[in-house]
Chain A
Amino acid sequence: EPEVTQTPSHQVTQMGQEVILRCVPISNHLYFYWYRQILGQKVEFLVSFYNNEISEKSEIFDDQFSVERPDGSNFTLKIRSTKLEDSAMYFCASSEKRGEPDNEQFFGPGTRLTVL
């Protein structure tokens, strides 16, 4: 069964460093998303991406964050200068459709980011 994959599973970095989190969405999906979950809290939306541009972004997604689809398969989230409060689990998701019936989102296993 097709699934969303993410690498790495765990990333440890120093405050101020840049990190890139990688995702491979399900191959026939066209809509891509990043969510994050701070330990013990609920999952929060960061950004959605379609047709090589951002569709929507939340207040969390400030200038330190960027997303990119550098090739036909990968979808990346870059944090330019990490802060302690960026420590969280980051989930990538994808869906075949958007705003219609059958717009189910499928989530990857997550990347746990720890900023020291």
Chain B
Amino acid sequence: DAGVIQSPRHEVTEMGQEVTLRCKPISGHDYLFWYRQTMMRGLELLIYFNNNVPIDDSGMPEDRFSAKMPNASFSTLKIQPSEPRDSAVYFCASSLSSGDGYTFGSGTRLTVV
């Protein structure tokens, strides 16, 4: 298996633009998680899905952030409009069930200027 695949690896955008981050989880994993990592706040869970259904989105910072999982092999995290304080590394992770551990993607480094 190729692991959790995220795209793009790097994204630089101007403030106010829409940004879409993509994730392909490991085939057969039924949990998918979106995390944000910054120096100041460490790793923050934004939202997670089980069987394509959002279970907990309490970590989503504000309405500018939205996430979807239209099928078991694809998820998106969208920021509209983007702001400089959204600059961070965004990780997607998937797991088969609790106890197995998460498998993380390589992350998307987002810079909003």
A, B in one complex: no
Chain B contact residues, CB within 8 Å of chain A: none
Chain A contact residues, CB within 8 Å of chain B: none
